Amino acid sequence: MPGGQERILRRRINSVQSTKQITRAMELIAATRVVKAMTRANAARPYSTKMTGVIEDLAAGGVGIDDPLLRSSENVSSIGFVVITSDRGLAGAYNSSVIRAAEKEIMAAQTEGKDYKLVLVGKKAADYFRFRNYEVEASFSGMTDTPSYEDARVIATKVRDLFVSEAVDQVILAYQEFVSMGTQRVAVRKFLPLESMQTVASEGGGDADSRALFEFEPSPEGVLSALLPRYVESRLYSALLDASASEHANRQRAMKSATDNAEELITKLSRALNRARQDAITTEIMEIVGGAEALGDGSSEETTEHDNDTQITV
């Protein structure tokens, strides 16, 4: 039946059209979310800058380095991995690239005979590693879209406990770093133990020598022990914010290409539809002409008229 193919094509075009509308909407939503996430990341920056500033002051004050969070052990026998992914998919290669990088590190640790502990952020990572029978120490989800400082604190506390209780000797953080709107890259970084304070201080770029005369209350050590846990929280918080900005940027890109693909598909299908419709019309005319000719035992004039009609219609 000639109308059959047409109907099928029309149905497909409709379905692609509505998919396109959805992906377009998601693209626009993701675009506004990226901007919001970037604003949040910028708003959080003064705190971590100041935090680094205080560490510079402490380093300048010559504080003895004696804190569990600065403990670095020569023999690493167990590594903790913090993997930050999203709760939702449809973000292109966002989740899979982070997970792949983390899994590579885990395998490398295993071949070296080291133990691993997984702290997973986001549903996608939890699903992936649980399904593959990895041992999961803790998983957090439900906040990767717009992480709050409180979320960061909860995760940081867990990570810190693992490290301070010596369940792990090192913590590695895997997430997607937000470089710019167009560039995000997977970052696998050492998270704990913290670099020595001098390293942190020199990263801050401050001129530590000129500010060596600080007074501390209650004591430099007291300030340090209150400061380091917060420093860990703040670093994790900025990683979460980076990850959420990357997630939205990735989703925007993925949805843009999905929209483009849908458009392309619609063009192709419309062409196929037009051709099918034309084919059907031509076939029908041929049938009519053929039928008329078969019937036409009368005058040849009538047939010629029919022929003319046909040409006009086509």
237 binds other proteins, rule: CB under 8 A: yes
Q: Are the CB atoms for 155 and 121 separated by under 8 Å?
A: yes
Q: Which residues contact 264 (CB under 8 A, 6 or more apart)?
A: none
Which one of the spans 48-56, 85-93, 132-140, 173-181 is the region binding other proteins (CB under 8 A)? 48-56
Residue 95 burial by CB count (10 A; 0-12/13-18/19+): exposed, middle or buried? Answer: buried
Report d(CA 205, CA 270) in Å as an integer.
61
Strand partners, 39: none
Q: Single out the segment in contact with other proteins by CB under 8 A; choices: 19-27, 42-50, 105-113, 285-293.
A: 42-50
Q: Applying CB under 8 A, which of residues 74, 207, 209, 215 lies at the interface with other proteins?
A: 215
What are phi and psi for residue 117, nearest 5 degrees? -135, 135
Least distance between other proteins and beta carbon 62 (Å) = 13
Tell me the closest approach of the beta carbon of residue 203 to other proteins, in angstroms: 18
Cα 143–chain centre separation: 13
Span 51-90, contacts to other proteins by CB under 8 A: 51, 53-54, 57-58
Residue 36 in the binding site for other proteins (CB under 8 A): no
Q: What's the closest the beta carbon of residue 148 comes to other proteins, in angstroms?
A: 7
- For residue 110, give every residue at least 6 positions away whose Cβ sits within 8 Å of its Cβ, in sequence order, or none: 116
Q: Quick check: 216 binds other proteins (CB under 8 A)? A: yes
Judge whether 244 and 145 are in contact, CB under 8 Å: yes
Residues at the site binding other proteins, with contacts judged by CB under 8 A: 40, 43-44, 46-47, 50-51, 53-54, 57-58, 148-149, 152, 211, 213-218, 222-223, 226-227, 230, 233-234, 237
